[in-house]
Structure 1
Amino acid sequence: MKDFATSEDPRVQAQLDRLAALSIPQGRLGLETIHALLERLGDPHKRLPPTFHVAGTNGKGSTCTYLRFMLEAQGLKVHAATKPHLVRYNERIRLGGKLISDEMLADLLREVLDAGEDLSPSFFEVTTAAIFLAFAREPADACVIEVGLGGRLDATNVIDHPAACGIATLGIDHEAFLLRPEEGAPEEPLARIAFEKAGIVRGPAPVVTLAYPESATLEIERAALTAGAPLHMRGRDWDAAVGDVIEYSDRHGELVLPLPTLPGTHQAENAALAVAILRHQDQVTVSPEALADGLRAAHWPARLQHLSSGPLTRHAGAREVWLDGGHNPDAGVAIARHFAGQRLHLVIGMLANKDPRALVDPLTQSIASIRAVPVPGHDCHGPASFGASALAADSVADALTNLPDDGLPVLIAGSLYLAGVVLEANEEVPD
Structure 2
Amino acid sequence: MSDNTPSDVILDRMMALHPKVIDLVLDRVWRLLEALGHPEQKLPPVVHLAGTNGKGSTQAMIRAGLEAAGHRVHAYTSPHLARFHERIRLAGELITEEHLTAVLDECYAANGGETITYFEITTCAALLAMARTPADYTLLETGLGGRLDATNVVEKPALTILTPISMDHEQFLGDTLAKIAGEKAGIIKRGVPCVVGPQPEEVMAVIEARAVALGAPLLAYGQNWHVGEEHGRMVYQDETGLLDLPLPNLPGAHQIQNAGAALAALRHLNAGDAAFEAAVTEAYWPARMQRLKEGPLVEIAPKAELWLDGGHNPAAGEALAAHLARLPRRPTHLICGMLNTKDAGGFLRPLADHATSLTAVSIPGEANTLPATETARMAQKSGHRESEAESLADALRSITAEAPEARILICGSLYLAGHVLRRNA
Q: Same fold (TM over 0.5)?
A: yes
**Residue 67 of structure 1 contacts residue 274 of structure 1 at CA under 8 Å; is this kept in 2?**
yes
Q: What is the letter of the counterpart of residue 285 of structure 2?
A: W
Shift of 1:256: 1.1
- Choose from 111, 135, 158 the match for 1:163: 158
Q: Percent identity?
A: 45
1:13 Cα shift?
Answer: 2.3
Aligned to 1:111: 106
Q: 1:94 aligns with which of 73, 79, 89?
A: 89
Aligned-residue offset at 1:172: 0.3
Q: Which range moved further: 393-402 or 238-247?
A: 238-247
Aligned to 1:16: 11
Contact 1:83 1:148 in 2 (8 A): yes
Contact 2:301 2:404 in 1 (8 A): no
Which residue in 2 is equivalent to 1:390? 386
The TM-score with structure 1 as length reference comes to: 0.92
CA distance in 2, matches of 1:27, 1:127: 13
CA contact (8 A) 1:345 1:369 kept: yes
Partner of 1:176: 171
Paired residue secondary structure (1:176)? helix
User: Which residue of structure 1 lines up, in the alignment, with residue 420 of structure 2?
Assistant: 422
Instruction: Give the C-alpha shift of residue 17 in structure 1.
Output: 1.6
TM-fit CA distance, 1:288: 2.0
The answer on 1:310 being equivalent to 2:295 is yes
Give, in angstroms, the shift of residue 405 of structure 1: 2.5
Corresponding letter in the other structure for 1:402? S
Whichever residue aligns with residue 398 of structure 1, its letter is: D
SS in 2 for 1:365: helix
Matched position secondary structure for 1:254: strand
Give the equivalent residue in structure 2 for 1:142: 137
SS of the equivalent of 1:340 reads helix
Contact kept in structure 1, 2:250 and 2:284, CA below 8 Å: yes
For residues 386-422 of structure 1, what are the alpha-carbon distances to aligned partners after superposition, in whole Å with 9 as ceiling and x for unaligned?
1174111011111001111252200000011000110
Which of 260, 278, 282 aligns to 1:293? It is 278
Q: Aligned runs of 1:22-421 on 2, under 5 Å? A: 22-23=17-18, 29-179=24-174, 189-243=176-230, 244-280=232-268, 284-340=269-325, 342=329, 343-376=331-364, 377-378=366-367, 379-381=369-371, 382=373, 383-387=376-380, 389-403=385-399, 404-421=402-419
Contact map agreement 1:60 1:146 (CA 8 A) in 2: yes
| Unaligned runs of at least 5 residues, structure 1 | 1-6, 181-188
- Report SS of the residue matched to 2:420: helix
Deviations 1:284-307 (A, max 9, x none): 431123210232111100000001
Q: Give 2:97's aligned amino acid.
A: D
CA contact (8 A) 1:70 1:291 kept: yes
Assess, with a 3 A threshold, how the Cα gap between structure 1 residues 168 and 140 changes in structure 2: closer, same or farther.
same
Query: Structure 1 143/219 Cα, relative in aligned 2: closer, same or farther at 3 Å?
Result: same
- SS of corresponding position for 2:303: coil
**1 CA distance for matches of 2:8 and 2:126?**
18
Higher helix share: 2
In the alignment, structure 2 segments of 5+ residues that lack a partner are none
Which deviates the most, 120-129 or 371-380? 371-380
Quote the Cα distance in structure 2 between the aligned partners of 1:274 and 1:394.
40
| 1:48-84 CA distance string (max 9 Å, x none) | 1111100000001111111111000001110100111
CA separation in 1, counterparts of 2:236 and 2:271? 15
Q: Distance in 2 between matches of 1:35 and 1:318?
A: 53
| Cα contact 1:80–1:94 (8 A) shared by 2 | yes
Q: C-alpha distance in 1, partners of 2:71/2:121?
A: 28
Q: Contact 2:317–2:347 (CA<8 Å) still a contact in 1?
A: yes
- Helix, strand or coil for the counterpart of 2:202? helix
CA RMSD between the two structures: 1.7
Residues 241-275 of structure 1: per-residue CA shift (max 9 Å, x gap): 22322211111111112211111011111011111
Equivalent residue of 2:266, what SS?
Answer: helix
AA aligned opposite 1:221: E
Are the equivalent residues in 1 in contact too, given 2:159–2:194 (CA < 8 A)?
A: yes
Partners of 2:266 and 2:276 within 8 A in 1? no
Shift of 1:22: 2.9
For residue 157 of structure 1, report the CA deviation from its aligned partner.
Answer: 0.4
1:92 and 1:105 map into 2 onto residues whose CA distance is 11
Return the offset for 1:316: 1.6
Render the CA deviation track for 1:207-228: whole Å, top value 9, x for unaligned. 0102323221111011111222
Q: Which amino acid aligns with 2:389?
A: A
In structure 2, the CA distance between the partners of 1:344 and 1:149, relative to structure 1 (3 Å rule), is: same
Q: CA deviation at 1:338?
A: 0.7
1:345-388: per-residue Cα shift (whole Å, max 9, x none)? 01000112222223321111111111111101233142222117
> Residues 113 and 63 from structure 1, CA distance in 2 versus in 1: closer, same or farther, beyond 3 angstroms?
same
What amino acid is the match of 2:398? N
Report SS of the residue matched to 1:375: coil
In the TM superposition, what is the alpha-carbon distance from 1:24 to its structure 2 partner?
5.5
CA contact (8 A) 1:307 1:322 kept: yes
- Answer yes or no: is the 8 Å Cα contact 1:323–1:413 preserved in 2: yes
